[in-house]
Amino acid sequence: MIENKPINSNPNVSVDCVVFGFDGSDLKVLLVERYRRDNLDFQDDTLVLPGDLINNNEDLNEAASRVLYDLTGLKKIFLQQIGAFGSPKRLTKPKDIVWLEAVRMNPEARVITIGYYALINIKNYKVRPSSFAKHVVWRGYDEVGELGFDHNEIIVKAIHNLRDQLYREPIGFELLPNHFSLHQLYSLYNEIMGGGIDRRNFRRRMLKTGFLKETEEYQEGVPHKPARLYTFIPEEFENASKNNFKFY
Protein backbone atom coordinates (compact mmCIF):
# COMPACT_ATOMS: atom_id res chain seq x y z
CA MET A 1 0.00 0.00 0.00
CA ILE A 2 1.68 3.20 -1.12
CA GLU A 3 1.17 6.44 0.77
CA ASN A 4 -0.32 9.42 -1.07
CA LYS A 5 -2.18 7.18 -3.50
CA PRO A 6 -3.68 8.80 -6.61
CA ILE A 7 -7.34 9.71 -6.41
CA ASN A 8 -8.38 6.93 -8.82
CA SER A 9 -6.93 4.24 -6.57
CA ASN A 10 -9.55 1.82 -5.23
CA PRO A 11 -9.21 1.58 -1.40
CA ASN A 12 -10.92 -1.81 -1.17
CA VAL A 13 -9.30 -3.96 -3.87
CA SER A 14 -5.64 -4.91 -4.26
CA VAL A 15 -3.46 -7.42 -6.08
CA ASP A 16 -0.64 -9.47 -4.57
CA CYS A 17 1.90 -11.41 -6.62
CA VAL A 18 3.78 -14.58 -5.69
CA VAL A 19 6.87 -14.52 -7.91
CA PHE A 20 8.48 -17.96 -8.10
CA GLY A 21 12.05 -18.10 -9.34
CA PHE A 22 14.39 -21.01 -10.05
CA ASP A 23 18.17 -20.69 -9.82
CA GLY A 24 18.97 -24.09 -11.32
CA SER A 25 18.58 -26.04 -8.10
CA ASP A 26 16.19 -24.30 -5.68
CA LEU A 27 12.69 -22.85 -5.92
CA LYS A 28 12.56 -19.33 -4.48
CA VAL A 29 9.97 -16.63 -3.74
CA LEU A 30 10.48 -12.89 -4.30
CA LEU A 31 9.66 -10.71 -1.29
CA VAL A 32 9.85 -6.98 -0.56
CA GLU A 33 10.62 -5.15 2.66
CA ARG A 34 8.24 -2.26 3.16
CA TYR A 35 9.03 1.26 4.40
CA ARG A 36 7.74 4.84 4.20
CA ARG A 37 9.16 7.04 1.45
CA ASP A 38 8.39 10.21 3.43
CA ASN A 39 9.95 8.90 6.65
CA LEU A 40 13.05 6.76 6.20
CA ASP A 41 13.33 6.39 10.00
CA PHE A 42 10.01 4.54 10.08
CA GLN A 43 11.02 1.08 11.28
CA ASP A 44 9.26 -1.91 9.74
CA ASP A 45 11.33 -4.79 8.41
CA THR A 46 8.31 -6.96 7.64
CA LEU A 47 8.59 -8.92 4.41
CA VAL A 48 5.55 -9.07 2.14
CA LEU A 49 4.61 -10.11 -1.36
CA PRO A 50 4.77 -7.45 -4.07
CA GLY A 51 1.29 -5.97 -4.04
CA ASP A 52 -0.75 -2.78 -3.96
CA LEU A 53 -4.19 -1.27 -4.53
CA ILE A 54 -5.65 -1.35 -8.03
CA ASN A 55 -6.62 1.74 -9.99
CA ASN A 56 -10.26 2.15 -10.96
CA ASN A 57 -9.42 2.51 -14.64
CA GLU A 58 -7.53 -0.79 -15.03
CA ASP A 59 -8.54 -4.42 -15.06
CA LEU A 60 -7.04 -6.90 -12.62
CA ASN A 61 -4.41 -8.30 -14.98
CA GLU A 62 -3.26 -4.79 -15.86
CA ALA A 63 -3.07 -3.94 -12.18
CA ALA A 64 -0.97 -7.01 -11.38
CA SER A 65 1.49 -6.22 -14.18
CA ARG A 66 1.75 -2.56 -13.16
CA VAL A 67 2.20 -3.25 -9.46
CA LEU A 68 4.84 -5.89 -10.08
CA TYR A 69 6.77 -3.51 -12.32
CA ASP A 70 6.38 -0.59 -9.91
CA LEU A 71 7.78 -2.57 -6.98
CA THR A 72 10.38 -4.82 -8.59
CA GLY A 73 11.06 -3.65 -12.14
CA LEU A 74 9.82 -6.96 -13.55
CA LYS A 75 7.69 -6.81 -16.69
CA LYS A 76 6.44 -9.00 -19.52
CA ILE A 77 6.53 -12.16 -17.43
CA PHE A 78 4.13 -15.08 -16.96
CA LEU A 79 1.25 -14.15 -14.60
CA GLN A 80 -1.60 -16.43 -13.54
CA GLN A 81 -4.54 -15.44 -11.32
CA ILE A 82 -5.11 -17.81 -8.39
CA GLY A 83 -8.16 -16.38 -6.63
CA ALA A 84 -9.50 -13.84 -4.14
CA PHE A 85 -8.59 -13.47 -0.47
CA GLY A 86 -11.09 -11.56 1.63
CA SER A 87 -11.01 -12.66 5.26
CA PRO A 88 -12.06 -9.84 7.61
CA LYS A 89 -8.96 -10.68 9.68
CA ARG A 90 -6.40 -10.48 6.86
CA LEU A 91 -5.22 -6.97 7.89
CA THR A 92 -5.32 -7.32 11.68
CA LYS A 93 -1.75 -8.20 12.68
CA PRO A 94 -0.37 -5.49 15.04
CA LYS A 95 2.57 -4.52 12.80
CA ASP A 96 0.31 -4.43 9.76
CA ILE A 97 -2.09 -2.07 11.53
CA VAL A 98 0.78 0.30 12.38
CA TRP A 99 1.91 0.21 8.75
CA LEU A 100 -1.56 0.87 7.40
CA GLU A 101 -2.10 3.78 9.77
CA ALA A 102 1.17 5.31 8.56
CA VAL A 103 0.53 5.04 4.83
CA ARG A 104 -3.20 4.76 4.16
CA MET A 105 -5.84 7.46 4.14
CA ASN A 106 -8.40 4.86 5.22
CA PRO A 107 -6.36 2.37 7.29
CA GLU A 108 -9.46 0.59 8.59
CA ALA A 109 -10.92 -0.04 5.13
CA ARG A 110 -11.53 -3.69 4.35
CA VAL A 111 -9.34 -4.78 1.43
CA ILE A 112 -9.99 -7.81 -0.72
CA THR A 113 -6.94 -8.91 -2.68
CA ILE A 114 -6.65 -10.89 -5.89
CA GLY A 115 -3.69 -13.25 -5.85
CA TYR A 116 -1.42 -13.99 -8.79
CA TYR A 117 1.65 -16.08 -9.28
CA ALA A 118 4.48 -15.35 -11.67
CA LEU A 119 7.30 -17.56 -12.96
CA ILE A 120 10.79 -16.40 -13.94
CA ASN A 121 14.25 -17.74 -14.48
CA ILE A 122 16.20 -15.80 -11.85
CA LYS A 123 19.29 -15.50 -14.05
CA ASN A 124 17.33 -13.75 -16.80
CA TYR A 125 16.02 -10.87 -14.70
CA LYS A 126 17.49 -8.16 -12.52
CA VAL A 127 15.01 -7.04 -9.90
CA ARG A 128 15.14 -3.62 -8.23
CA PRO A 129 13.23 -2.19 -5.27
CA SER A 130 11.03 0.83 -5.91
CA SER A 131 8.05 2.67 -4.47
CA PHE A 132 7.50 1.45 -0.89
CA ALA A 133 9.78 -1.59 -1.33
CA LYS A 134 12.95 -0.88 0.66
CA HIS A 135 14.62 -4.12 -0.34
CA VAL A 136 13.81 -6.94 -2.74
CA VAL A 137 14.99 -10.37 -1.63
CA TRP A 138 14.81 -13.95 -2.85
CA ARG A 139 13.96 -16.51 -0.17
CA GLY A 140 13.90 -20.27 -0.55
CA TYR A 141 10.31 -21.51 -0.74
CA ASP A 142 10.81 -23.49 2.50
CA GLU A 143 12.53 -20.54 4.22
CA VAL A 144 10.01 -17.75 3.71
CA GLY A 145 9.06 -17.38 7.39
CA GLU A 146 6.09 -15.34 8.64
CA LEU A 147 5.06 -12.59 6.27
CA GLY A 148 2.79 -9.59 6.67
CA PHE A 149 -0.96 -9.74 6.18
CA ASP A 150 -2.21 -13.13 4.89
CA HIS A 151 0.63 -13.51 2.41
CA ASN A 152 1.71 -16.94 3.66
CA GLU A 153 -1.78 -18.19 2.82
CA ILE A 154 -1.50 -16.69 -0.66
CA ILE A 155 1.83 -18.47 -1.23
CA VAL A 156 0.30 -21.81 -0.20
CA LYS A 157 -2.54 -21.31 -2.68
CA ALA A 158 -0.04 -20.33 -5.38
CA ILE A 159 2.12 -23.44 -4.97
CA HIS A 160 -0.97 -25.67 -5.05
CA ASN A 161 -2.09 -24.05 -8.29
CA LEU A 162 1.39 -24.36 -9.76
CA ARG A 163 1.56 -28.06 -8.88
CA ASP A 164 -1.86 -28.67 -10.38
CA GLN A 165 -0.90 -27.01 -13.66
CA LEU A 166 2.63 -28.34 -13.93
CA TYR A 167 1.68 -31.53 -15.77
CA ARG A 168 -1.12 -30.01 -17.86
CA GLU A 169 0.52 -26.85 -19.19
CA PRO A 170 4.14 -26.05 -20.15
CA ILE A 171 4.48 -23.43 -17.42
CA GLY A 172 7.48 -25.08 -15.76
CA PHE A 173 9.69 -24.15 -18.69
CA GLU A 174 9.16 -20.45 -17.83
CA LEU A 175 11.59 -21.11 -14.97
CA LEU A 176 14.33 -22.67 -17.10
CA PRO A 177 16.83 -21.29 -19.62
CA ASN A 178 16.23 -22.09 -23.30
CA HIS A 179 18.78 -24.89 -23.09
CA PHE A 180 18.86 -26.99 -19.94
CA SER A 181 20.09 -30.32 -18.63
CA LEU A 182 17.83 -33.17 -17.60
CA HIS A 183 19.15 -32.75 -14.07
CA GLN A 184 17.96 -29.13 -14.03
CA LEU A 185 14.56 -30.22 -15.30
CA TYR A 186 14.33 -32.94 -12.65
CA SER A 187 15.42 -30.53 -9.91
CA LEU A 188 12.73 -28.07 -10.97
CA TYR A 189 9.88 -30.58 -10.96
CA ASN A 190 11.09 -32.19 -7.74
CA GLU A 191 11.34 -28.82 -5.98
CA ILE A 192 7.88 -27.70 -7.06
CA MET A 193 6.27 -31.01 -6.08
CA GLY A 194 7.99 -31.04 -2.69
CA GLY A 195 10.25 -34.02 -3.40
CA GLY A 196 9.54 -37.69 -3.92
CA ILE A 197 9.97 -37.93 -7.71
CA ASP A 198 12.07 -40.91 -8.77
CA ARG A 199 15.01 -39.56 -10.75
CA ARG A 200 15.50 -42.45 -13.18
CA ASN A 201 11.80 -42.85 -13.91
CA PHE A 202 11.48 -39.09 -14.46
CA ARG A 203 14.36 -39.04 -16.93
CA ARG A 204 13.06 -42.07 -18.85
CA ARG A 205 9.50 -40.78 -19.16
CA MET A 206 10.53 -37.23 -20.02
CA LEU A 207 12.66 -38.47 -22.91
CA LYS A 208 9.67 -40.45 -24.21
CA THR A 209 7.28 -37.47 -24.26
CA GLY A 210 8.56 -36.04 -27.53
CA PHE A 211 8.60 -32.42 -26.37
CA LEU A 212 12.29 -32.43 -25.45
CA LYS A 213 14.86 -32.06 -28.20
CA GLU A 214 18.55 -32.76 -27.90
CA THR A 215 20.87 -29.91 -28.75
CA GLU A 216 24.53 -30.06 -29.75
CA GLU A 217 25.45 -28.16 -26.58
CA TYR A 218 26.81 -29.40 -23.25
CA GLN A 219 27.13 -27.84 -19.84
CA GLU A 220 30.08 -25.53 -19.30
CA GLY A 221 32.12 -24.77 -16.21
CA VAL A 222 31.01 -27.80 -14.18
CA PRO A 223 33.36 -29.95 -12.04
CA HIS A 224 31.91 -33.18 -13.42
CA LYS A 225 31.34 -34.62 -16.88
CA PRO A 226 29.28 -32.04 -18.81
CA ALA A 227 25.69 -33.11 -19.44
CA ARG A 228 23.96 -32.71 -22.77
CA LEU A 229 21.51 -29.82 -22.97
CA TYR A 230 17.93 -30.04 -24.23
CA THR A 231 15.33 -27.57 -25.41
CA PHE A 232 11.55 -27.54 -25.10
CA ILE A 233 9.30 -27.96 -28.17
CA PRO A 234 5.96 -26.29 -27.30
CA GLU A 235 4.11 -27.79 -30.27
CA GLU A 236 4.69 -31.31 -28.95
CA PHE A 237 3.54 -30.64 -25.39
CA GLU A 238 -0.19 -30.88 -26.09
CA ASN A 239 0.13 -34.39 -27.51
CA ALA A 240 2.17 -35.53 -24.53
CA SER A 241 -0.11 -33.87 -21.96
CA LYS A 242 -3.09 -35.87 -23.24
CA ASN A 243 -1.43 -38.95 -21.77
CA ASN A 244 -1.67 -37.40 -18.26
CA PHE A 245 1.89 -38.40 -17.46
CA LYS A 246 3.17 -38.49 -13.87
CA PHE A 247 6.68 -38.92 -12.51
CA TYR A 248 6.14 -39.58 -8.82
Q: DSSP letter string over 10-25?
A: EEEEEEEEEEEEE-SS
Residues 53-95: tens digit of each pLDDT = 999 999 999 999 999 988 888 888 989 999 999 999 999 999 9
The full set of domain ranges for the chain reads 9-166, 176-241
Angle at the Cα of 61 from the Cα atoms of 161 and 27, rounded to 5 degrees = 40
Residues 182-237: tens digit of each pLDDT = 999 999 999 999 999 999 999 998 998 889 999 999 988 777 889 999 999 988 88
Domain made up of 9-166: CATH architecture: Alpha-Beta Complex (3.90)
Residue 38's pLDDT is what?
55
- CATH code of the domain occupying 176-241: 1.10.10.10
Residue 33's pLDDT is what?
84
Per-residue pLDDT for 17 more than 50?
Answer: yes
Check if the beta carbon of residue 13 is closer than 8 Å to that of residue 1.
Answer: no
Residue 212's pLDDT is what?
94
Q: Is the entire prediction scored with pTM above 0.85?
A: yes
Tell me the CA distances in angstroms from 146 to 10, 42, 52, 107, 176, one per residue in order.
27, 20, 19, 22, 28
Q: What average pLDDT does the chain have?
A: 87
Per-residue pLDDT for 2 more than 50?
Answer: no
223's CB contacts (< 8 A; 6+ apart) are none
- DSSP 8-state secondary structure symbol assigned to residue 192: H
Burial of 91 (0-12, 13-18, 19+ CB in 10 A): buried
Check if the beta carbon of residue 157 is closer than 8 Å to that of residue 115.
Answer: yes
Q: Who has greater pLDDT, 29 or 41?
A: 29
Check if the beta carbon of residue 74 is closer than 8 Å to that of residue 25.
Answer: no
Residues 139-187: tens digit of each pLDDT = 999 999 999 999 999 999 999 999 999 888 889 999 999 999 999 999 9
